[in-house]
Amino acid sequence: MLPRLCLLIALVTTCRLCLDGAVKWAITSGGEAALGAKVEIANLDTALLRGELTIRDFAAANPSAPMRNLIAASEANLMIDVGELCRGRLLVTGGAVRGIEFDGQRTESGALPATDDSPDAPGPSVFDPLVAAAEEKGAAWLDDVTGRLETDLESQLQTPRVAQELQDRWPQEYDAMRAAIDDIQTRGKQIETEFKEAKKNPLRNAAKFQTLAGDVTTLEQRVQALQARLAALPQQADADRQAIDAARKHDQEFVRQTLQFKDLDGDQLSRYLLGEETYGYVSTTLAWVQRARELVPSKKPHAKPPKGRGVEVKFVDTPRPTVLVKRMELFGNARLRGQPLELAGLLTDAASQPQFHSEPMRLELAGAGALACTLQVTCDRRTDEATDTLQFDCPELPLRGRTLGKAEKLAVTVAPGAASLTAHLQLVGDEIVGTIEYAQPSTQLTASAAAVRDARLTDALNKSLASLQRVQATVAVTGNVQRPDVKLTSNLGPDLAAGFNQAFRAYLTEKTDRLVAKAQAKVDEQVARLDAKRQAAQQELLGKLGEHQQLLAQLGSLTGGQLPAGVQLPGGVVLPANVAESAAGVQNKAAAAAAAKLGELQGKFKR
Amino acid sequence: MLDFLLRPLRLMAQSLIGDDSPRRVAWGFALGMLAGMLPKGNLLAVVLGMLLFGLQVNKSAGLLAAGLFSLLAPLWDGLAHTLGSAMLASPTLQPWFATLYQAPLGRFVGLTNTVVLGQAAIGLYCLYPAYLAAWWAAATIRPRIAKWLLGYRVIRWLKGAEIGAQLGLQS
């Protein structure tokens, strides 16, 4: 009897000593298989008779960041139903996990030894193309505006060029007329001299008189030509004026077209400013959701090959999960920016085969202290399609100051402040639908447009932002959870775009007016200078014509009464009855016509 | 160490030349046969093993039978599976099996496994014939074999070692 009793005692002692290690091994190996990272337990005590399991210093490493813990807890007390344990089920009826810490630092890597089926390095996010497109569109708009602003418009205006051409052409015109008048004068003096010589012996120089008469006729023709030329000047001036008007109209249209820009689209600007940040949050959230879904047992258990001999027949009316955590209180402490953050929560109905349990798994977490927030997660596997919901509310989320957009292009700096964040996501199968709402009711925005190197424009932008003190954004997520469609709407983009458009438009209008006025002033100056030159030339031409008139008068006086009237010169040329009178008449006629035309021309230029 | 190495031989020699009664040898053999036929890893096999070691039966014969039938039993697993399936599918027995399965430790007994139940049924069916056969062998054949074996020095030495071991002496 005694050996048998000893054997029994030894057996019980062995079981008792090995039980803790076996349970510890089961938890860590199962956890590592499910998580893909190290799961460590410093100490584990079991009290089967009382149905208690105590775990101390539990840590599960983050598979994505091996030097950080996904979750750690200082102590977990679990109340186990021993009766159900004898029936092959682990039923945790109650308990508490204390000292929960998320994302804590590890002293050694939590990565498991590399295996062939280790996950590949994460590829690019599905939101990368959206972020790139938003940034590209926003940057393209700004580049377009910048390019238009930095174009050397002044050098491309036509009005100054036309005015310059006139300024260059008119002096040539006057020089040509002046040269013609000088030539007439020179020729008149020659005729005078020759006439004086011929007058000494009229009879012998009859032929000379005939030649001189021809020269006078030629001179008269040249005077007439000059007269015609002077007569054409008003028409030329009129054409030049029309050319200046056409150039001015062209310049106005050119400047208007060049500085015209398409209004910035508000939604596009929202995506440009908030896209990277928002898509990053959504991508991270979805990655966590997917990760959590992988940890939650799927509805269809993996078909295990039968072990051993025979078939195990289960005599149960309704299948029940092998492991069920009925109720578990969660407590944790953390520090957020130096402030204590207390976490308290409740986990209910977490089952290893959730499809066999009548209630969905629920997790409720509430934060107090540095961050007041609530998180409610429901995982329902009772139906054919897995249904998960996530509700997160944080009315006062403290935010640091941050810069939205690209600092080297167009950026908006948001001052530090508190924001409310609400997220509601529902996943049915692989389809996701939900909204994430963000609102920062009171803040200060500062714009910087580094690409536009004009302080006045930046000032105008900031003036337009002065009235914008609220930032609100809503992200609607729909579609497949692997490649969801994300629609971002925010007041920031439209309000900012309206301010930007107004500021840019005012700035460009002012710049256009300034440019056109500058060109007009330059043209006016050139026209005035041209007018002054024309007046000087007119006086000069009139003076020379007056000298010429005197010359022809002298020529007339020299020839007056000394040439036989109506004499027939050799060659059939008949001298006019009174050469002097004829010459004076021609001269007077030419001078009067020239003065009239020049006066008309002056009047047109003045107009 | 030597005792550990010689123990199987001693057990075999003891089962043949021991002084146990034929009844103990027969019960040992029958229990060993039953335990050997069952697949291991269930409470039924454990209980049978404990009975084998706890009852005053010839353990040598029991262990010999258990080892022998552990090797032979898989040969008729198909028959055991068919028989077990039929019993588990019986409407008359199903409430009893359901009660057993849902009772504490019930699912660990192993009687809801087709092969365990079939082998247990076959083993129980063969238990009394095996007992009779073992009793007859122990009563009739064993004295002759013992006399013949004791003619060998090594067997005598093994028997002496067994006596020494029973007296607390190490070889």
Percent of chain A at pLDDT exceeding 90:
9
Token pair listed for B76: 């008729």
Instruction: Note the pLDDT of residue B106.
Output: 87
Residue A563 pLDDT class (50, 70, 90 cuts):
very low
Give me the DSSP letters along A106-154.
-SS--PPPP-TTPPPPP---TTHHHHHHHHHHHHHHHHHHHHHHHS--G
Cα separation, A444 vs A467, whole angstroms = 9
Three-state secondary structure of A205-274:
CHHHHHHHHHHHHHHHHHHHHHHHHHHHHHHHHHHHHHHHHHHHHHHHHHHHHHHCCCCCCHHHHHHHHH
Q: Is residue B133 part of a domain?
A: yes
Q: Is residue B153 part of a domain?
A: yes
Q: Is residue A200 part of a domain?
A: yes
Q: Is residue A579 part of a domain?
A: yes
Q: Is residue A278 part of a domain?
A: no
Q: Nearest CB to A314: which of B101, B114, B116?
A: B101
Greater pLDDT, B114 or A12 = B114
Q: Is residue B145 part of a domain?
A: yes
Per-residue pLDDT tens digits for A276-286: 777 777 887 88
B49 at A interface, C-beta within 8 A: no
Instruction: Note the pLDDT of residue A573.
Output: 44
Residue A188 pLDDT class (50, 70, 90 cuts):
confident
Q: Is residue A194 part of a domain?
A: yes
How close B148 gets to chain A, by Cα (Å)? 34
Domain count, chain B: 1
Per-residue pLDDT tens digits for A402-424: 888 777 777 888 888 888 889 99
Q: Is residue B115 part of a domain?
A: no
Residue A562 pLDDT class (50, 70, 90 cuts):
very low
Cα separation, B171 vs B158, whole angstroms = 10
Domain count, chain A: 1
Question: Buried b / exposed e across A202-233, counting CB within 10 Å, b at 16+?
Answer: eeebbebbbbbbebbeebbebbeebbebbeeb
Greater pLDDT, A355 or A291 = A355
Instruction: Note the pLDDT of residue A144.
Output: 67
Q: Is residue B23 part of a domain?
A: yes
Task: Look over chain A and give the mean of its residue pLDDT values, rounded to a whole number.
Answer: 77
Instruction: Note the pLDDT of residue B15.
Output: 65
Per-residue pLDDT tens digits for B87-114: 999 999 999 999 999 888 888 998 999 9
Rounded to 5 degrees, what are φ and ψ at A352? -75, -30
Q: Nearest CB to A310: which of B39, B98, B101?
A: B39
Q: Is residue A316 part of a domain?
A: no
B70 at A interface, C-beta within 8 A: no
Average pLDDT of the residues in A8-37: 83
Nearest to A38 by CA among A123, A117, A107: A107
**Lowest pLDDT segment from A18-22, A55-59, A464-468, B46-50:** A464-468
Per-residue pLDDT tens digits for A156-167: 777 878 877 887
Chain A contact residues (CB < 8 Å to B): 4, 83, 86-88, 308-316
How close A92 gets to chain B, by Cα (Å)? 17
A431, pLDDT greater than 50: yes
Cα separation, B65 vs B59, whole angstroms = 10
Question: Which range of residues forms the domain containing residue B158?
Answer: 2-76+126-166
For residue A566, the 8-state DSSP code is T
Greater pLDDT, A305 or A156 = A156
CB contact under 8 A, B112 and A86: no
Question: Which range of residues forms the domain containing residue A170?
Answer: 150-261+514-606
B130 at A interface, C-beta within 8 A: no
Q: Nearest CB to A310: which of B106, B108, B114?
A: B114
Average pLDDT of the residues in A535-557: 65
In this structure, are residues A411 and A269 in contact, taking their beta carbons and an 8 Å threshold?
no
A287, pLDDT greater than 70: yes
CB contact under 8 A, B97 and A315: yes
Q: Is residue A404 part of a domain?
A: no
Q: Nearest CB to A315: which of B84, B101, B108?
A: B101
Residue A558 pLDDT class (50, 70, 90 cuts):
low
Contacts of B104 in chain A (CB under 8 A): 83, 86-87
Q: Is residue A103 part of a domain?
A: no
Burial of residue A178 (number of CB atoms within 10 Å: 0-12, 13-18, 19+): middle
Instruction: Note the pLDDT of residue A501.
Output: 78
Instruction: Note the pLDDT of residue B66.
Output: 93
Q: Is residue A444 part of a domain?
A: no
A363, pLDDT greater than 80: yes
A504, pLDDT greater than 60: yes
